[in-house]
Amino acid sequence: MKWATRPGVHVDRAACAWLIRRFVDHDAEFVFPADLAAIPPDATPFDVRGAALGHHLGRCSFETALASFGLTDDPALEEIGHIIHEADLADERYDAPAAAGLDILIRGLTLTSRSDHDTLKITDRLFDGLYEHTRRQLITGRPPA
């Protein structure tokens, strides 16, 4: 399937792309049209204004996507949702100290990446690691060493 979002991906879009590729559509193809009107008709938009997979009722796009894809029963994903929410919105709804660092890392990555595909290659790995870390922490009740 084809998925579309704005170029210059930052934390919320990168996290959505990871979620889509890992849990929803392993062969996902991402496009990044600068003009929203240029979103291909066969693509599902995410993290753009007016899209179902966007910010709604105080939630960031990643949180909306979790609900929309029926992934709300995975506590590790819920926890990551809190981190993405704080990295993206910083409204202190959740206690997510990892958010500040993640925000800076992905902003820096966007500055140095050759393309959005290039950024996603790295953020996919980053979120795989964050997911594993969060999952283990939830199992043992302690941050993994």
Partner 1 sequence: MSQTDDWVLLAYRLPRVPSTPRSAVWRKLKRLGVAQLGDGLVALPADARTREQLEWVAEDVTDHGGEATLWLGRPLDANARSAVVSRMTAAVAAEYEAVAAEAAAARTADPGARHRVAARLRRELHRIQGRDFFRCPQFDAARRAVETLAATNPAGIPA
Give whichever of 76 and 89 is closer to partner 1, judged by the CB atom: 89
* Those residues with Cβ within 8 angstroms of residue 83's Cβ, 6 or more apart along the chain or in another chain: 94, 96, 98, 99, 102, 130
Give whichever of 51 and 131 is closer to partner 1, judged by the CB atom: 51
Minimum Å distance from CB 55 to partner 1?
4
Minimum Å distance from CB 76 to partner 1?
25
Give whichever of 1 and 100 is closer to partner 1, judged by the CB atom: 100
Name the nearest CA neighbour of 134 among 125, 122, 144, 121. Answer: 144
Minimum Å distance from CB 11 to partner 1?
11
Rounded Cα distance, 7 and 17, in Å = 12
Residue whose token pair is 């929309």: 68
Give whichever of 34 and 145 is closer to partner 1, judged by the CB atom: 34
Minimum Å distance from CB 130 to partner 1?
22
Rounded Cα distance, 90 and 87, in Å = 6
Between β-strands 2-4 and 29-31, what pairing exists: parallel, antiparallel or unpaired? parallel
Minimum Å distance from CB 96 to partner 1?
13
Using CB under 8 A, list all residues that contact partner 1: 8, 10, 49-50, 54-58, 89-91, 100
* Those residues with Cβ within 8 angstroms of residue 95's Cβ, 6 or more apart along the chain or in another chain: 82
Q: At 97, which amino acid appears?
A: P
Give whichever of 66 and 131 is closer to partner 1, judged by the CB atom: 66
